[in-house]
Structure 1
Amino acid sequence: MVKYLLRFIVIGYLFLLVAWPVSLVVTHTFDGGFGAITGLLEDTDVVAALKLTVLCAVIAVVINTVFGVGMSLLLVRYQFPGKRALSALVDLPLSVSPVVVGLSLVLVYGGRNGWLGPTLESWGFQVIFATPGIIMATAFVALPLVIREVVPVLEEIGIEQEQAAMSLGASPAQTFWRVTLPAIKWAVVYGVVLSMARSLGEFGAVKVVSGNLLGQTRTATLVVEEKYLNFDQQGAYAMAFLLAMVSVACIVIVAIIRPKEHAR
């Protein structure tokens, strides 16, 4: 009875917190058929926001993937002073409010009072209220996701195979590409998917650094806010549905193609 009671509590919790709210977004999106979706896709400003969101998310995910794999190898394969502090610092984006992240980026890269902003703008490179600022904010909030997927796998596989490859004459690069990367590829893939989902849905940090300029720095999440505040709830539901479905589709596809022996 205890086992079934716990299952009921967990299922009920997930239903009330996740399934029910998301299902309401779906049902409200299609209250009038597909008109809300087609209307969004015919709006040039909305299409521009979607393109900007995808562009920034892809670039942020690429940055976090390269950095995440490198940082994972550093944390698992090497011993150095300050290792625990660095590991804790990696989790900082999960504990700090995204709004604080956005404000911090403004203080450093802002054009007027930022530490580096005036210098960069004098060189013709604008960060805040431009695409680079959105990419930086997005990359920051999704920073730990690849690392926290890869680190446990690296710890599990150990270093025996890598040592064997290097003893046979393989260079560090060959060892990484032929031994290490194949062993962690599914952890990397799942970390990339989580990073993509997180990047597509980022709102707080992006709102601070983007300036929300129509057709230039307005992202899809900002479109949701703008339409909801302007009483276009159908449009807000439709945009939220598109963002949610892209993230869910990525996770479902990975779950389907991932071999069972690699499932956790």
Structure 2
Amino acid sequence: MVELSAPVKWALRLIAVGYVLMLVGWPMVTLAQNAFSDGLTNFTSAFSDPDVVHAMVLTIEISGWAVAINTVFGVGMALLLVRYEFPGKRVLSALVDLPMAVSPVVIGLALLLVYNGRTGWFGPTLEANGVQVMFAMPAMIMATCFVSLPLVVREVVPVLTEIGDDQEQAARSLGASATQTLRRITLPAIKWAVVYGVVLTFARSIGEYGALKIVSGNLSGQTQNAPLVIAQLYDNFAKGEAYAVAFTLVLLAVLCIVIVSLLRPKESSS
């Protein structure tokens, strides 16, 4: 391994820090400056609008559903990928990563083709039985689950691989059932990976725009989430209010990550 000189190390560090500041730090600082350009006026003006409040509540609800669904299926898929061998395993692993490679707009269009009430594969049958998927909460939840699918899986898989299955095999040899092994051995070992996956899923879900733009119908006060409201406010020249709502979403995501980082035990951070 080549040992780098001290000036080279400092140069690389400055380049890395500068890159992050230019890409993330500077835009976030600019957003905060614009959000507070008139003190709290932008916030009071934005959140005095019932449609904005409804959009924020709807965003939290959809994100909560996405977190719950992706946590259950994410842990299950991680266990399947790490603990079992089966035909098509590599295909499943690739499919899990697909939402990271495909544009959310494409995801929204794909859902529209499948669940459209007029021409979709399943939409006409579902609507004939009184189930509306598109332009309603179900489609918004599905789209959000799709775009955030890999986050729990990719947090849990490395931890499961690292800890191995020795303790699980020992528990089964002592007569523990699969449920007991999962609850007492596996889940405690991966709990912080699951927590981080949950936080990342929530942060990703509250900011989803592209897929929901297609599947929601973007109806004010009904199927409009916070990112869609931000776009509408900005297009209607209410830029101060748009900055305020955007800053609120960023702050919510950052607070979740910071709180988890503070609560995580130091001994398990290595």
Give me the TM-score of the superposition, normalised by structure 2: 0.97
Opposite residue 54 of structure 2, the aligned amino acid is A
CA distance in 2, matches of 1:263, 1:42: 42
1:46 pairs with 2:47: no
- Work out which of the residue numbers 111, 116, 125 in structure 1 matches 2:117: 111
Q: Deviations over 1:15-61 (max 9, x none)?
A: 11000001111011011111111222211111111111100010011
Residue of structure 2 in register with 1:35 after alignment: 41
Task: For 1:106-185, list aligned pairs within 5 A.
Answer: 106-185=112-191
Q: Deviations over 1:72-122 (max 9, x none)?
A: 000000000111111011000000000000000000001111111111011
State the shift of 1:249 in Å: 0.3
Residue of structure 1 in register with 2:240 after alignment: 234
Give me the TM-score of the superposition, normalised by structure 1: 0.99
Look up the SS of the partner of 2:244 in the other structure. Answer: helix
CA root-mean-square deviation? 0.7
Residue of structure 1 in register with 2:97 after alignment: 91
Q: Deviations over 1:142-169 (max 9, x none)?
A: 0000000000000000011011111111
Of 73-82 and 33-42, the range deviating more from structure 2: 33-42
1:244 pairs with 2:250: yes
CA distance in 2, matches of 1:243, 1:199: 11
1:14 pairs with 2:20: yes
CA distance in 2, matches of 1:6, 1:240: 32
CA distance in 1, matches of 2:163, 2:202: 26
CA distance in 2, matches of 1:135, 1:240: 21
Task: For 1:42-81, list aligned pairs within 5 A.
Answer: 42-81=48-87
State the shift of 1:261 in Å: 2.1
CA distance in 1, matches of 2:214, 2:268: 40
The total of aligned residue pairs comes to 264
Look up the SS of the partner of 1:217 in the other structure. Answer: coil
Opposite residue 50 of structure 1, the aligned amino acid is M
CA distance in 2, matches of 1:51, 1:152: 34
Look up the SS of the partner of 1:142 in the other structure. Answer: helix
Opposite residue 91 of structure 1, the aligned amino acid is D
Opposite residue 234 of structure 1, the aligned amino acid is G
Look up the SS of the partner of 2:130 in the other structure. Answer: coil
Opposite residue 56 of structure 2, the aligned amino acid is L
- Work out which of the residue numbers 196, 217, 224 in structure 1 matches 2:223: 217
CA distance in 2, matches of 1:19, 1:128: 37
Structure 1, unaligned runs of 5 or more: none
Opposite residue 211 of structure 1, the aligned amino acid is G
Opposite residue 31 of structure 2, the aligned amino acid is V
- Name the % identity: 62
Q: Deviations over 1:186-226 (max 9, x none)?
A: 00000000000000000000000000011100000000100
